[in-house]
Amino acid sequence: MARAWGFAFFLLKCTRKIRIEACKMKNIYLGVEKGIKDLQNIFKNTDDRDEKLKQFNQEALEVFQKLEFKSLKELESLKNNEEWENFTIAFYGETGVGKSTLIECLRMFFKEQSKVD
């Protein structure tokens, strides 16, 4: 039984880490999107007196606009399909070792609606 409780605390630590990682992933998506837009603004807001620089900036801007379209489309797909907040854990083992107790503890810890009522 002590092993089951130790495992329960291990799982709780893991779920906290997963929630933290989910937040980090969402920040990564936002950071990539912001980085692309910042680069585009750099190329848009440069000195236009030098014709070669103006030509280079225009070409770079076109490349980044294509990159933005492709990457933001992929980022949106990743954001929509990520499943950091829902996951499944399977418990198996001999009879009487505390699997059901562990599951009930997790349900109470995470305030599952059926346990709160």
d(CA 79, CA 51): 40
d(CA 90, CA 103): 10
d(CA 12, CA 102): 11
| Cβ atoms of 14 and 38 closer than 8 Å | no
Type of residue found at 84: W
End-to-end CA distance of the chain: 28
- Report CA 73 to chain centroid distance, whole Å: 16
- Residue in this structure with the two tokens 């585009």, named with its chain if needed: 40
d(CA 88, CA 93): 17
Helix residue spans in the chain (DSSP H): 2-44, 51-81, 99-109, 113-116
pLDDT computed for residue 3 by the predictor? 55
How confident is the prediction along the chain (117 residues), in pLDDT tens digits per residue?
445 555 555 555 655 555 555 566 667 677 777 877 777 777 777 766 778 877 887 887 788 777 777 777 777 777 776 665 666 778 888 888 888 888 888 788 777 777 666
pLDDT computed for residue 7 by the predictor? 53
pLDDT computed for residue 40 by the predictor? 75
